[in-house]
Structure formats: structure tokens, C-alpha cells
Structure 1
Amino acid sequence: MADSVFIEGLVVETVVGVYDWEREVTQSLVIDLEMAWDNRVPGHSDDVADALDYATVSGRVETCLKALRPKLLERGAEVLAGILQQEFGVTWLRLTIRKPGAVPGAKAVGVHIERGAR
């Protein structure tokens, strides 16, 4: 199966970073997420109950990262991947977390992970 559901450019405002000043402000993280999902059933039924609801997933991503307040993007990515796999039954995902403006001269820095079997 090569079907997937994706969320691209989801902006989450949260506390993130290792420096003291970063622990006192919120910063933007930009999330790109692709998740394996069999889209045949919702494709036939036209019922959101059969789909991987990207609005619900987006809300969970935001809730997770705001509560976690990770020091490292790597921590945010690992925790988020585990939650998405466990709570939504996603067998495979590709996740990118970008931190715009973190390094002068770079548009963004970040991490990219893949977890599970496609």
C-alpha cells in the first residue's frame, strides 16, 4: 500500500530550545507529516469516520508540542511519532520539524525522521 495522508506547514507556537532565554518565550515550529493510511475505505464511503482525520491529528500535534516544551527538536519528533503511531494506529510516518530563524543566514534548521514499516 502506498496511500498516505499528509499535513504540510503546520505552525505550532511553543517553548523550545536549550538556552535560558528560549525557555522564557514561545517560538514557531513548522511541522510536515506524512502518514501511511489506506484511503480506499474512506474513498468509497465518503465518511470522515473512516478516514485519518487530519484536523484531529493536527490538533494532537499542537497539543503534544505545547505540553512537551522540548529542549531538542529530536525529543519533540520522537515523542510525537510515538503518540501518532499509538493513538491513531499509523504504521509508518515521515516527520519533519523545522525551527525557522534558529541559525542566522539559514531559512530554517530541523530534524527529519521516519518510523515504522510502510
Structure 2
Amino acid sequence: MDIVFVNQLQIDTVIGVYEWEKSIKQTLVIDLQLATDIRTAAAGDDLAHTIDYAVVCEKVQQLVQAKPLELIETVAENIANLLLTEFPAKAVMVRVGKPSAVKAAATVGVEIRRGQW
């Protein structure tokens, strides 16, 4: 299985359970892995036969910024569902980090895997 990946996609959005978080934007740092077969794309040097990571980033950004949420767990699930339904991925890994959540930590977050690894 081949992997198309995106590392450290930074998206500013309203996220959090505390009242002070609901009135500000915070940066989420997102890593993605999409499992797919890239052999046809590589053989023909043709973007149409693979997953366009620029389109992935654009759609993920639109999704994350569409409405305020409280939990990064919800963000991760929403992204996984988007990737599995809109792209030819057999499985996905989504990691959502929230660097500003815990002062003593560089970042905290969740990582989920969905689909058939």
C-alpha cells in the first residue's frame, strides 16, 4: 500500500470547550496519510490517477473552518470521513494537534486510523 501524506497543515479555527476559546481562533496542526495505489499514476505520470494533495489540503481547510467545534476528536473524525468519501483512499490516518492547549507541552492531540490498512 502506498501513502500520500500531508504533514503539519496549519489551520486557524474556532475550537474548544472553554468560553474563552469560543471567541478566538486557534491553530490546529494536522497530519494526514491516505493509503492508495500510486502505480498507475507513476507509470503514466498522470495526476488524474492519484490523490492530489493540494485538493486534499483545500478541502480539509474548508471543512475545519466551516463551523466552530469543541473537540479535536470531532475534527479528526470529520476529516477522516471526508477523505474516505471524496478521495480514492482505502484507509486514512488523521492526527490533529492543538499546540496552545497545554502550556507545558509542545502540542497535544489525537490520532485516528480509519479504513482497511
Q: Same fold (TM over 0.5)?
A: yes
Report the counterpart of residue 82 of structure 2 in structure 1: 83
2:111 is aligned with 1:112 = yes
Q: Match of 2:19?
A: 20
Quote the RMSD (CA, aligned, Å). 0.9
1:65 aligned partner: 64
Give the C-alpha shift of residue 110 in structure 1. Answer: 0.2
Which stretches in structure 2 are left out of the alignment for 5+ residues?
A: none
Q: TM-score, normalised by structure 2?
A: 0.96
SS of residue matched to 2:83:
helix
Q: Report the CA distance between 1:101 and its aligned residue.
A: 2.0
Answer yes or no: is the 8 Å Cα contact 1:68–1:76 preserved in 2. no
**1:87 to partner: Cα distance:** 1.1
Q: Distance in 1 between matches of 2:19 and 2:100?
A: 17
Q: Which runs of 5+ in 1 are unaligned?
A: none
Identify the residue that residue 54 of structure 1 maps to in structure 2.
53
Instruction: Give the fraction of aligned pairs with identical amino acids, expressed as a percent.
Output: 41
How many residues align structurally? 117
Alpha-carbon distance, 1:68 to partner: 3.3
Letter in 2 for 1:47: D
Following superposition, which runs of at least 4 residues in structure 1 exceed 4 angstroms of deviation?
none
Mapped to 1, the partners of 2:106 and 2:112 lie a distance apart of 19
